[in-house]
A and B are shown apart, each in its own frame.
Chain A
Amino acid sequence: NAGVMQNPRHLVRRRGQEARLRCSPMKGHSHVYWYRQLPEEGLKFMVYLQKENIIDESGMPKERFSAEFPKEGPSILRIQQVVRGDSAAYFCASSPPNLSTDTQYFGPGTRLTVL
């Protein structure tokens, strides 16, 4: 059973460009969470999605950041007009729809570097 997959693993962008990060949840998982890990800081929640729905976006910056989880295909975290402060590791986690086993399993992360 393949784990959570994220791509690309490393992404380099210049200031002002767009970054698109992809996450494919584990097979059978319908819940996706995005977290950001800044250098020397812990993981911070960004957004929680189910298929075609944003459930909780309380951790998302108000501007430039958006996320989606379409009916078909991976979840996408999109950062427009990137700035140096966006440089971080972005992790995706997924969990199954069954509430009794709602453990979040993490992917390997995408490391974004903004030049």
Chain B
Amino acid sequence: QKEVEQDPGPLSVPEGAIVSLNCTYSNSAFQYFMWYRQYSRKGPELLMYTYSSGNKEDGRFTAQVDKSSKYISLFIRDSQPSDSATYLCAMKTGANSKLTFGKGITLSVRP
């Protein structure tokens, strides 16, 4: 079993849709959770960073963490064509430790 599993894609939605992206993990030592966005042939860009169960909101993005179920989600409201990218969940056990990534899901938002 992989440490981090991410819903497979690709995912295509119409502009304005609500998008839900999900990851599960098996290592209960993971304490810090991140979502990165990666445009084609670019480096990953940090979107959200959380370390506690619950929700964290930033503009159109909401990150949700459920440590008891070992499950994290990223919600994108009012999706835009510019949101079309690959989304990677990542997690780590402590400060200044390596990130373990999900495989990524490619999202396409149709105008």
Give A residues with C-beta under 8 Å from B. 4, 31, 33, 35, 41-45, 48, 55-56, 58-59, 91, 93, 95, 99-100, 102-109, 111
Report if B110 contacts A (CB, 8 A): no
CB-based contact B43/A44 at 8 Å: no
Residue of chain B at shortest CB distance from A31 = B96
User: What is the distance, in angstroms, from B12's C-beta to the closest C-beta of chain A?
Assistant: 18
Task: Tell which of A41, A42, A56, A111 touches B98, judged by Cβ atoms closer than 8 Å.
Answer: A56
CB-based contact B98/A108 at 8 Å: no
Interface size on B, residues (CB 8 A): 22
Report if B46 contacts A (CB, 8 A): yes
Decide yes or no: A33 and B43 within 8 Å by CB, A42-B88, A42-B104 being known contacts: no
Give B residues with C-beta under 8 Å from A. 6, 34, 36, 41-46, 49, 88, 90, 95-104
Distance A103 CA – B101 CA, assembled complex (angstroms): 14
Distance A99 CA – B99 CA, assembled complex (angstroms): 15
Pick from B6, B36, B90, B98 the residue with the most CB of A within 10 Å.
Answer: B98
Decide yes or no: A48 and B98 within 8 Å by CB, A42-B88, A42-B104, A43-B88 being known contacts: yes
CB-based contact B96/A42 at 8 Å: no
Decide yes or no: A42 and B102 within 8 Å by CB, A99-B96, A102-B95, A102-B96 being known contacts: yes
CB-based contact A108/B42 at 8 Å: yes
Residue of chain A at shortest CB distance from B36 = A106
Residue of chain A at shortest CB distance from B96 = A102
